[in-house]
Chain A
């Protein structure tokens, strides 16, 4: 779910106001690439929030406040999408006209899926046994694997322009990302 912007209100002119056609990269004036200058992104983001944030319009009327909130929300959404490499990659796939659908994708190789199941069992086991350090180690291992895959993905997207292979990589990364958040949930549960 990328690029969702709040549309509400009674008059319906919001559709005119919120320009969905400007993509996130264009909004920040960045090239449509996976390898992104994150420092520049951060910097642009802050500059734009300085201009759009509701705190800047605290004395304004309700309509102005609402528009400012919509813009600030839009900028936040765009920033979150581009800042996170997985969301950025998925967004690039979307711009390239490829719809990612993890649930119905059955084309994942068996050995990858088996590895996923093993990871998952390890997490569940560590969670049952309340093994905090074990969970933290798993966390770092998954993160490490993700890092390698991101490097490959950058190659595929920016250098080789191979969206088909890139899609495969993104799907794997989505699995791993899900795994990370599961480990995270497990850690939270231990801390509760």
Chain B
């Protein structure tokens, strides 16, 4: 609620106060929380000094869930209640999951999204993720000694709108205020770039536990500009485990396995995979439920062979991202390796061969994403220090469009558009007297609606009856800086309007979030109420002061009656502040903020305009003089 507190672009509102903010890497396998202290980003470890939190949640009957290593410990004995790799389920429906059969979970198909049956009741992936985030939040607040103002949460660059929405919902459910959803490779590029003062075009190759991302960025004087991104949100270390698992079943000629055995063998497969990174062969020894003993040896050669197609699969998005960026391999100065799965030698080799240069491994591939997120969080929370003059410009990974006649997709915003971005397109009615238009918003690169992801449907109603083709329906797409889409439609001759934040089919409704939050809150009421009044009074005072100084600086933007309304709003708020009625103060604050909304917008506009033109005069003159001769297309 820092209305009016922008002084200059990029300057923090209250420089004296360090706000507690964290970056969270919510990974498929491991999650981390990091923060910036005295200008240095570091990962916050748990009480035992372990930096990673395994992304595992164990649900128990009548007790609160266990998260992390302790949850993993229960995996073999209680597989159906220990949820791992839940990130793969985010924003997905049940039939979209590969090898669902080999997972020991009891899935339930929900409306759109899936859910999981546990001893503690039915859990959605959003709720499971929220449990992981809550654990990290608790860890951070204990370490930093205070409440967090917010968090930057990372998501795979290739996550679609539904997966992003689900992630944001999970954060809200965990009581975290989301400063920004940040793409994982972008976060890594930020940490790497700032650390190495890198300039030029870099690729970030991020192969984690469950997702693969490739991003091509141009780093130029503090601006990190994502040129293109690509990936596969179902490709990661887990798939290599799966290949070993299948190899074991075949090599040991095993019959169909129980959930416990499958889980146990998958764990063995993963251990073997990680062991092979530094050894030529790995033993796989396991006793399974039937009493049979599995005793095999997996060599590097075999492992490389059975996972060759997976490694190749990562190179396709790489090729496409390069093509989208209009670049060739020679343009790429370095390839930053991110994600635990990039430790595998065959991955290192393939990437090195493809880019014709040795990959960069100088940052811890498991931590770099969280560190980048922490750096961004620190900045967004308003802790900008003098040297922090960098900016991230990111893109949307997948095209956004609308269904048109015949099940075809009309692309409105192409993939790799820099965000924020807005586009509008005009449509018309095709029947005489048609009064409604159904809009189906989809995301993806395919031409047929059925091959793209459905993000939501909505309807523009009450169109005045006209002859076919006469209505002018302008559909506008806006993607914000989190990469989230909202759509609105308007019939321009009559002004009939309709809009949605696109989340109906997979995300949770605001009501559902509110209900879940309420369920998970305990009520320590009275204390909080007193504190709340105090806080509101402070906030009210700040608001009044901010408006006063805004009026001094930019009062000329207001018409006299608007100014009068603001003055009387201030008077009302000041009267309310004298009392202890929390609701009255809150109401007056709200009213005053509404009243000053247009004024705030006008001031902001003036700020940016002045900034633009201030720059222009000296910078342009200088540049034009020096570049008169240069010029190409």
Binds A, one of B34-42, B277-285, B350-358, B415-423: B415-423
Chain A residues near B99 (CB, 8 Å)?
Answer: none
Check A54–B481 contact: CB distance below 8 A: yes
Please give the number of chain B residues whose Cβ is less than 8 angstroms from any Cβ of chain A in the complex.
71
Would you call A76 and B619 a contact (CB within 8 A)? no
B320 in complex: contacting residue of A39, A69, A79, A188, CB < 8 Å: A188
Which residues A1-55 have CB closer than 8 A to chain B?
Answer: 1, 4-8, 11, 13, 17, 29, 33-40, 42-44, 46-55
The listed residue (A7, A34, A63, A77) touching B598 by CB distance below 8 A is: A63
In the complex, the answer to whether B597 meets A62 with C-beta atoms within 8 Å is yes
Contact A29–B601 (Cβ < 8 Å): no
B273 at the interface (CB under 8 A from A): no
A64 and B623: CB pair below 8 A? no
Whole-angstrom distance between the Cβ of B46 and the nearest chain A Cβ = 29
Check if A189 is an interface residue, CB within 8 A of chain B: yes
User: Which of chain A's residues have a CB closer than 8 A to the CB of B630?
Assistant: 37, 39-40
Partner of A58, one of B179, B419, B597, B611: B179
- On whether the beta carbons of B597 and A188 are closer than 8 Å, the reply is no
Q: Is the CB of A47 within 8 A of B478?
A: no
| Of the residues B6, B317, B376, B381, contact of A57 by C-beta under 8 Å | B6
Q: Knowing A4-B422, A55-B379, A73-B421 touch, does A49 contact B391 (C-beta < 8 A)?
A: yes
Q: Taking chain A's interface residues, is the majority helix, strand, or loop, or is none over half, making it mixed?
A: helix
With beta carbons under 8 angstroms apart, the residue of A6, A58, A72 that contacts B180 is: A58
Contact of B530 with A by CB under 8 A: no
Which residues of B sit under 8 angstroms from A54, Cβ to Cβ? 420, 480-481
| Distance between Cα atoms of A6 and B421 in the complex (Å) | 9
Interface of chain B: mostly helix, strand, loop or mixed: mixed
Number of interface residues of A (CB under 8 A): 63
- Chain A nearest CB from B561 CB (Å) reads 15
Whether A58 pairs with B380 at a CB distance below 8 angstroms is: yes
Query: Which of B7-15, B67-75, B124-132 lies at the binding interface?
Result: B7-15
Contact, CB under 8 Å: B6 / A55:
no
Interface residues of B in 1-44 (CB under 8 A from A): 1-6, 9-10, 12-13
- The answer to the question of A191 belonging to the interface, with a C-beta cut-off of 8 Å to chain B, is yes
Known contacts A37-B631, A40-B623, A73-B420; is A48 also within 8 Å of B612 by CB? yes
B276 touches A (CB below 8 Å): no
Check: A67 CB closer than 8 A to any chain B CB. Answer: yes
Question: Closest residue to A26 on the B side, CB-wise?
Answer: B616
Pick the contact of B615 from A37, A47, A68 — CB < 8 Å? A47
- Known contacts A6-B476, A51-B612, A76-B418, A61 near B9 by CB under 8 Å: no
CB of A119 closer than 8 Å to a CB of B = no
Question: Which residues on A sit within 8 Å (CB–CB) of B3?
Answer: 60-61, 63-64
Distance (Å) between the CB of B203 and the closest chain A CB? 18
Name the A residues within 8 Å of B535 (CB-CB). none
Contact A60/B616 with A11-B598, A73-B422, A73-B478 known, Cβ cut-off 8 Å:
no
Q: Any chain B CB within 8 A of the CB of A91?
A: no
Can you list 8 A-B contacts (CB < 8 A)? Answer: A7-B476, A8-B488, A50-B10, A50-B223, A54-B480, A59-B381, A60-B6, A62-B597
Besides A46-B225, A66-B601, 14 other CB < 8 A contacts?
A4-B422, A36-B631, A37-B627, A50-B223, A58-B179, A58-B180, A58-B379, A59-B12, A60-B5, A61-B600, A64-B601, A67-B605, A154-B633, A191-B317
Which residues from chain B sit less than 8 Å from chain A, CB to CB? Answer: 1-6, 9-10, 12-13, 179-180, 220-223, 225, 316-317, 320, 323, 376, 379-382, 389, 391-393, 417-425, 445-447, 476, 478, 480-481, 488, 499, 593, 597-598, 600-605, 608, 611-612, 615-616, 619-620, 623-624, 627, 630-633
